[in-house]
Each structure stands twice: as C-alpha cells, then as structure tokens.
Amino acid sequence: MPITVGVEEDLNRLRVIFAKLVDGDERFMAEPPPAMVVKNVGDYFVEVEFRVWLHDETTHVRVRFWLREQLFEAFRTEGVEMPFETVQLAPFEHRSLPTKVD
C-alpha cells in the first residue's frame, strides 16, 4: 500500500506508527514481518510502501481499505506531512528574434 509523504519526514517514525497499527493484530502474520520500503524519491515527496501479510487472504480487500484509512488517520494525528501535487507557473516572455535584412 503506497503512501506519499514529505521529504523532511523521519522514515523511522513512519515505521513506528505502522508497527503500532499492525503489531499484535491477529489478522497479520508475524513472519514474514511487516515492512516499509521506499519506492520513489522526488523533489518534494517520498513514496513509501507498507507491506504486511494476512493469515486469511480472502479478507485482503476489506483489511487493505481498513489499514489505508488507519494509516491516514494516524499520520494526520501525528502531524506527518502528506504533500499534494502542485504545479508552479512562471511567467514567460516570448520575444521575436530580429530579422536580418540584406
């Protein structure tokens, strides 16, 4: 499950928040252990992916939606920056080149 956070975020803090949500929850397997990996780094964001294995694969859709919402709420509560895409417009002046007359 990918989530984008600000480049100034402490990745270990994100791992701790994630661990609090899944550790001890009987729906999630202890082995392989839950993990967070960095998928992409941009100018203003870091895309991280949270990975966890379920004991009952048939619940993956419902649990994924639940976990995504829980991560969002936990990050918001903890003040984790989750940047949104922006476009910066800069003025551009077009000037014609002088024509050379022979």
Domain boundaries, the chain: 2-77
The structure tokens listed for 39 are: 């998928």
Q: What is the pTM of this model?
A: 0.74
8 Å CB contact between 48 and 14: yes
Residue 87 has pLDDT above 90, yes or no: no
User: For residue 91, what pLDDT is reported?
Assistant: 79
Please state, in angstroms and rounded to a whole number, the distance separating the CA atoms of residues 37 and 17.
14
- Per-residue model confidence as pLDDT tens digits over 16-47: 999 999 999 999 999 999 999 999 998 889 99
- Per-residue model confidence as pLDDT tens digits over 42-67: 888 999 999 999 999 999 999 999 99
* CATH number 3.40.50.620 is the correct assignment for the domain at 2-77: no
